[in-house]
Amino acid sequence: MENLRRRKREELANSKIAVCLVGGARRFELTGPSIIEKILRLWLLKDAPRLAWVRILEPKPIVETEPMVRVLTPKNSPNGIKSGRVDGYWADPLDPEYFIPGQYLVPPGSSYGGLNDGFGVGDLNTSTVALSRLSLIPDLDSAGLTRLNSEYGVPVAALSSRGPLNGAKCRPCTVTCSGSCVAKLMRRLDRGWSWTEWKNGMLELCDARRGLEKGWEKIFDDVAGEKLARARKLVGGLDLRICVEEFDEMRGMTVKWEAPASEQICTLGLRPN
In a domain, 218, yes or no: yes
Q: What is the DSSP letter of 131?
A: T
3-class SS at 161?
coil
Question: Are residue 190 and residue 248 in the same domain, yes or no?
Answer: no
pTM of the prediction? Answer: 0.73
Q: pLDDT tens for residues 66-119?
A: 888 888 776 655 444 444 667 788 888 878 888 888 998 887 666 665 565 677
Amino acid, single-letter form, for residue 124:
L
Q: At a CB cut-off of 8 Å and minimum separation 6, what does 18 contact?
A: 52
| Residue 46 backbone dihedrals phi, psi, to 5 degrees | -70, -10
Task: State the total domains in the chain.
Answer: 3
What is the DSSP pairing of strand 254-258 with strand 170-171? Answer: unpaired
Beta-sheet strands, E only, within 69-213: 157-158, 170-171
Amino acid, single-letter form, for residue 32:
G
Q: pLDDT tens for residues 233-250?
A: 888 778 888 889 988 988
Question: Are residue 103 and residue 133 in the same domain, yes or no?
Answer: yes
Question: Are residue 78 and residue 129 in the same domain, yes or no?
Answer: yes
Q: What domain range is 199 assigned to? A: 154-236
Boundary of a domain, candidates 83, 117, 152: 152
Question: Are residue 229 and residue 271 in the same domain, yes or no?
Answer: no
Amino acid, single-letter form, for residue 52:
A
